[in-house]
Amino acid sequence: MAIKERLWTRDFITIIILNFFIFLTYYVLVQMLPLYLAGVHGATSDQVGLLVTFFLAAAIAIRPFAGQWVAMTSQKKILVAAAVGFCVATLLYPLASGGVNSILLLRVFHGLMYGVLTTAKGTICAEMIPVSRRAEGLSYFAMSMVLGMVLGPYVGIAFSDAGAYTTGFYTCMGIAGICIVLCLVLRVPEIGENADVPEELRRLSLRNMFDVKAAPFALTIFILAIAWSGIPAFFALYTKGIGLATTASNFFLIYAGFVLVSRPFAGRWADRYGPKVIALPALALFAVGAVLISTTGANGVFLVAGAIIGVGYGSVTPILQTQIIGAVEPHRVGIANSLYFNSMDLGMAIGSYVLGVIAKGSGYQTIYAISVCVIVCAAVEYLLVTRRKKSPAS
């Protein structure tokens, strides 16, 4: 019986904690900033909407460059610099004296730092995980993001309800400061500075920002992100509109709980039996959950859907990240990671807008029915890609 390579090292635990604190800060601000902007600065609804648009647009724009930077230079220096920038941006929110416009400009800067930080930490984590346990390791890594997603909104709402915005901002700054310390103590495998990196990778070019080998799996996650975007963006509005105001928060708690329970098993089984064996059933579960949302108005059924989607969508995303990384050469992992995160964010941005337009004219149930069709398209595309590719990634 083969001995498993060690996964739970000091540095792996450190980067998981770092990932949790980054997303905790992110989700506290996601909940707090709209209320702060509207309540303190009198922002209109369209200006509030730009908070997410500016942030994600900046992150998407910088990630292709960040992917090349982590491949060609010191990963730790980039990680620490981005963590410092992330902390500074958090500090500046309560100090912004120019009102709405200054905060929106700050969101661009914050998004740039977030884009570099997520690319660098994702790349470093992928490189420190043994290849034989990559899906399992990335599943644990992604779980820490889910914990931040669950706790962050509650903390942000608590600060907002108390009107303690300044305290909330400084708390986020303190958490971001802890992130800097974690980056400093993290021992990073400096692959980018090795002589093994081809000279052509050190040149700034389109090819070095985008890897064709990883693109098919990135397309799958892009399509799935479109389908998923309707849930965080509109599910609370949908349930409130049908008289189930508390259902959305319970839905997301159950979703997160089932993500946390299922991801370690999904990652371990994907490493053992192959990613396709786990990904296809996970996609089917995601579709079933979307069907339940689109065809019912019952509280209990919504909660069951949350559990099913938690297992389905929650399991397939780290598997797809594993396949994107596995499709490229080791020195191009940073490029693959930037493509993964950008595919997800771009799908979320486009999906939220398009589904919002559809919901305005046809109602929320319609967008979840459309989401089922989108998931099916993603499954077909994934099936075609994995049938055509006979590489370790498939």
pLDDT band with cut points at 50, 70 and 90 for residue 6: confident
Contacts of residue 83, Cβ cutoff 8 Å, sequence gap at least 6? 117, 176, 179, 180, 183
Q: Check if the beta carbon of residue 146 is closer than 8 Å to that of residue 93.
A: no
- For residue 41, the domain's CATH number is 1.20.1250.20
* pLDDT for the residue numbered 392: 46
The whole-model pTM stands at 0.76
Select the more confidently predicted residue: 394 or 252: 252
Residue 326's domain spans which residues? 211-388
* pLDDT for the residue numbered 114: 93
Picking from 209, 234, 265, the residue at the C-terminal end of a domain is 209
Looking at the structure, do residues 186 and 283 belong to the same domain, yes or no?
Answer: no
Looking at the structure, do residues 184 and 242 belong to the same domain, yes or no?
Answer: no
Looking at the structure, do residues 322 and 358 belong to the same domain, yes or no?
Answer: yes
* pLDDT for the residue numbered 241: 85
Q: Beta-carbon neighbour count of residue 271 at 10 Å? A: 22
Picking from 209, 232, 262, the residue at the C-terminal end of a domain is 209
Q: What is the pLDDT of residues 260-273, one digit of tens each?
A: 888 888 888 888 88
pLDDT band with cut points at 50, 70 and 90 for residue 177: very high
Picking from 169, 186, 209, the residue at the C-terminal end of a domain is 209
Q: What is the pLDDT of residues 18-73, one digit of tens each?
A: 999 999 998 888 878 877 887 777 777 567 667 777 888 898 889 888 877 877 77
Looking at the structure, do residues 145 and 219 belong to the same domain, yes or no?
Answer: no
pLDDT band with cut points at 50, 70 and 90 for residue 391: very low
Looking at the structure, do residues 172 and 237 belong to the same domain, yes or no?
Answer: no
**For the chain, what percent of residues have pLDDT higher than 70?**
90
Looking at the structure, do residues 193 and 308 belong to the same domain, yes or no?
Answer: no
Looking at the structure, do residues 201 and 232 belong to the same domain, yes or no?
Answer: no
